[in-house]
Amino acid sequence: MTTVSEKEIEAIDVQSRKHTISLLVENKFGAFNRIAGLFSAKGYNIDSLTVGPTEDDSVSRMTIVTRGDDNIIEQIIKQLNKLIDTLKVTDLTYESFVERDLALIKVQTTAETRSEIMQIVEIFRAKIIDISPKTATIEAVGGQQKIDAIIKMLKPFVIKEMARTGRVALKREFQGEVD
């Protein structure tokens, strides 16, 4: 039987570490395709990608979650910075940042299961945003672990449909203690 040392486990973790990369890009036709194409052409996988407008209509923010060791991530960042539409690239992984995920989960319900589903929703501070005699649609917002946990709790009730945004993130500005 082969055993794996703690150093080998740590090396594996570093190689497969998730990185959250925040990009500010010009809000122009084709910018998204160029960025997605870069990942595809270089063989880099995207675990999650969200894009949306910022406070400035001419700029969009992209949040990309990808995996790789520090060398691979460094190459990704260099390549992203070379793209014409890119304004700023930040690897948030080693920064303090806030992140959220949104999931809409349509669950099968019956008169007997509805109260139990409502309890789960309440525990996770989620919301029921649509209901019918046979289904309830739940909105859950939070970190990836919270979303994964509520999905796991709702699976026994039969998830009929689900849509998930992926991670959105911003660097945390406040560092330190409040006087």
pTM recorded for the entire structure = 0.76
Structure confidence by residue, pLDDT tens digits, 61-93? 999 999 988 899 999 999 999 999 999 999 999
Query: Class for domain 12-95, per CATH?
Result: alpha beta
The structure tokens listed for 78 are: 């260099």
Residues spanned by CATH 3.30.70.260 within the chain? 12-95
Are 37 and 82 in contact, with CB atoms under 8 Å apart?
no
Q: Sign of dihedral through CA atoms 75, 80, 82, 83?
A: positive
Report the side by side order of strands in the sheet with 18-26: 46-53, 59-67, 18-26, 86-91
In three-state secondary structure terms, 128 is strand
Structure confidence by residue, pLDDT tens digits, 20-41? 999 999 998 988 899 989 888 8
Structure confidence by residue, pLDDT tens digits, 85-99? 999 999 999 888 999
CATH number of 98-171: 3.30.70.1150
Residues spanned by CATH 3.30.70.1150 within the chain? 98-171
**AA letter at 109:** T
User: Strand pairing of 168-171 and 97-108?
Assistant: antiparallel
